[in-house]
């Protein structure tokens, strides 16, 4: 009898997604327009590490995204290979904007990328970009 009452109290119709008035909520653009607040939910440094097994090798790919409030960004990838024994790094400058649940990145020199984003476990420190979870570094 107590369980249904607890469930009813827990499910009071409140949204379960981040709200703009909560940490990690709000998804505006990555730029500031005068007195408006930037997309604070995405601003910061985010990192993920993926381990890949390829024939004859194991590779670790560390991807770091840096999204600045001014609308600039960087994507840094460091690929380490057991077979090669030394890391390869790519560092790409970019600009970004976000709306709803999508972020659009335009790379300096050409090319663009559109990624869906969300926050895992409603945590402002666990960003999910196109299915990969990133941890906030700063």
Question: Could you report the per-residue pLDDT of 30-70, keeping only the tens digit for each?
Answer: 333 333 333 779 999 999 999 999 899 999 999 999 999 99
2: pLDDT strictly greater than 80? no
Q: What's the pTM value of the predicted model, to 2 decimals?
A: 0.71
Q: How many CB atoms lie within 10 A of CB 134?
A: 21
Burial class (CB in 10 A: 0-12, 13-18, 19+), 48: middle
Domain formed by 26-136, architecture = Beta Barrel (2.40)
Domain ranges of the chain: 26-136
**How far apart, in whole angstroms, are the C-alpha atoms of residue 54 and residue 1?**
54
Reference 95, options 78, 116, 111; nearest CA is: 111
Which has the higher per-residue pLDDT, 34 or 136? 136
Of the pLDDT bands very low, low, confident and very high (cuts 50, 70, 90), residue 85 is: confident
* The two structure tokens encoding residue 53: 């097994």
Burial of 59 (0-12, 13-18, 19+ CB in 10 A): middle
């Amino acid at each position: 009898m107590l369980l249904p009452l607890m469930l009813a109290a827990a499910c009071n119709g409140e949204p379960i997604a981040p709200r703009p008035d909560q940490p990690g909520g709000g998804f505006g653009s990555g730029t500031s327009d005068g007195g408006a607040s930037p997309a604070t939910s995405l601003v910061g440094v985010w990192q993920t590490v993926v381990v890949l097994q390829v024939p004859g090798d194991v590779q670790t790919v560390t991807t770091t995204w840096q999204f600045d409030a001014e609308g600039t960004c960087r994507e840094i990838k460091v690929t380490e290979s057991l077979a090669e024994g030394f890391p390869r790094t790519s560092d790409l400058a970019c600009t970004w904007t976000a709306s709803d649940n999508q972020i659009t990145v335009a790379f300096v020199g050409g090319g663009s990328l559109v990624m869906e984003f969300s926050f895992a476990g409603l945590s402002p420190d666990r960003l999910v970009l196109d299915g990969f979870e990133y941890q906030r570094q700063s």
